[in-house]
Amino acid sequence: MAAVTTVITGATSGIGKETALALAKKGHGLYLLVRDVVRGDELARQLTEQTGNKEIYSIKCDLSDLHSVYTAAEKLKSKLFAVNVLINNAGGMFPQRELSKDGFEKTFAVNHLAHFALFHHLLPLLQKGQARVISLSSEAHRVGKIDLDGINSEKKYSLMRVYGMAKLFNIFFTKSVAEKYQDKGITAFAVHPGVVNTSFGTGTGGFTGFMLSLARPFMITAEQGAKTSVYLATQTGLHTKSGSYFKKCKVAGTSSAANDVTAREKLWQLSEELLKQHPPV
């Protein structure tokens, strides 16, 4: 049995796939939470062939459906004694306003609320594993404006506004986990992977799509983008940096909004209330 058990979302492409490959090479037991199980099973097979690591599994988990998140967490709890690393890698950027199965604006649902739910339902395993919780944020958090009354963007939808707010919420989540669970042995880190040339954002139109197309020739590879996540999942002696935002494997500064403790606590409370309204069936 692997010495380290890692759970990762969004591993079938881009940064997540490269992160999974690197950790498979290091002997981590991997549980890939995937929306498409066929792709997930194929990736698990490929990673085993490439690395010789036979402890790689895929579990269905659609982050736009809280019931799917709860079901995935229950499967993990039935299979595992502990989780040592949880990587909230998956994310989403949606050109037009869409709603999740539970009726939430999809950017908020996929980037924040689903991972918040996953963390809470895996908490017994995370505590036993003295886990590291790694969440992919972005420098886009700097354009995020805190609007806890408008998380569903019902009045006005702007792709970069909702995405920036979601990435800001990833940092809020990281800081809150670090504070609330430090006595449980859980540490938390947020990551800016870099501006990575993946399929992320494909189909985005307008000014954002135009800027993405201009930037692509200068973007780093998915393998390079995975380096900080892999570093945080494997490096020793990081407990004193819990709650930090990392870029290029080093602690980096955040926007002033990311240090708003009152808003951060309100987000935590709101997220708990939303999950209570959508409990496991």
DSSP class of residue 268 equals H
Per the CB < 8 A criterion, the answer to whether 72 and 33 are in contact is: yes
Active-site option among 31, 70, 163, 181:
163
Q: How many residues does the chain have?
A: 281
The alpha carbon of 74 is separated from its chain's Cα centroid by a whole number of angstroms, namely 19
Of the candidates 240, 238, 234, 242, the residue with the CA atom closest to the CA atom of residue 3: 234
Q: How far apart are CA 266 and CA 264, in angstroms?
A: 5
Strands (E), 126-202: 132-136, 187-192
How are beta strands 132-136 and 85-88 bridged, if at all?
Answer: parallel
Catalytic-residue membership of 163: yes
Q: Which of 169, 75, 172 is nearest to 118 (CA)?
A: 75
Backbone φ and ψ of 192, nearest 5°: -100, 110
Point out the residues that are catalytic: 163
